[in-house]
Every structure is written in structure tokens, then in C-alpha cells.
Amino acid sequence: MQKLITLQVNGERHELAVEPDESLLQVLRNRLELVGPKKGCDSGGCGCCSVHVDGRVAYSCMMYAVGAEGREITTIEGIGSPATGLHRLQQAFIDAGAVQCGYCTCGIIMAAKQLLDTVKQPSEDQIRLAIAGNLCRCTGYAKIVDAIKLAAAQT
């Protein structure tokens, strides 16, 4: 039996009918066509699906969409785009060359964003811990850390 829910995503309200066991990730990607959050492991191990829920980073693959009703969801699409202007983290990832295949990028930027939202000048340790829940199979992380430092320096 589908459930009718209202989801608040990137500042917009969406009325949706969803399966009771549909994950927030499935709803974002398949129903709202927000494909920034990626499906990697689908089980809380890789961080590709990271979004913000009430301003805090979370794995959208591990959250039921019905349970996310009433909370403020932000995906990478909601923090900046070529049309509306890039967020300084997005720009820094380009400038530092921190993207290879890009599959991990949206999730890592959302994890880094929580850090920069709360700590103005993070140490390298704080940066590494902030993205500890995100895997990147390409870059080796060095340039990702550089990019986050670059974005932090621009505050």
C-alpha cells in the first residue's frame, strides 16, 4: 500500500505517493530525478548517497522516505548549480582537480559542507574525519582534502 507524503527538498514541497519501504535515496533519484545523490553500496558503507537532513549529513540509502517527512532535505542540487552559481566547495573541487570519475563527489561535498557549516577553519584532521564516511575509489583523497582546504580558505 503506497503512502502519501510531503517531502521538503531543496526548499520545495513535493506531494508524493511512495512505497512504505522506499528509501529516501530511491525517492530522490527515481521520483524527483535528483541524481546528484548516487547509489553506491545502498547499505551505509560508501557515502555516495549523502544528503543533508535538517542541516546534518546522512546516508539517504538508509533512511525511509516516509520517515523523512517533515524534515528539510538538501541534495547537492540544492547548494549550487551552473545555473544558480556554484557553491564554493563545488568550485574548489574543480579548481583542485579533486574529481575523477565523480561518483563519490556529490556525497563528499555534502559531508564537507556540514564541516564548513560548523567549523570555519578546520584542521586537516577535522577534514579527514568529516569525510571518513565516504569512499573514493579514484583520487586517493589527497586532492579532495586540498579542495576542502581551498574552500575553507575562501570563507
Interaction site with ligand FES (CB under 6 A): 39-42, 44-49, 59, 61, 99-104, 136-139
Give dist(CA 115, CA 98) in Å, integer: 17
DSSP string, 23-53: BHHHIIIIIS---SS--SSSSSSS-TTEEEE
Using CB under 8 A as the criterion, what x/- string covers residues 56-95 for binding other proteins?
Answer: xxxx-xxxx-xx-x--------------------------
- Which backbone phi and psi does 12 adopt, to 5 degrees? -115, 145
- Residue 83 binding target from ligand FES, other proteins, none, CB below 5 to 8 Å by type: none
Q: Which is nearer to other proteins, 59 or 93 (CB)?
A: 59
Q: How far is the CB of 20 from other proteins (least distance, A)?
A: 4
**Residue 16 · residue 4 · CB < 8 Å:** yes
Q: Give the E-state strand segments of 12-137 in sequence order.
A: 12-18, 50-53, 56-59, 72-74
Q: Which is nearer to other proteins, 44 or 97 (CB)?
A: 44
- Residue 74 binding target from other proteins, ligand FES, none, CB below 5 to 8 Å by type: none
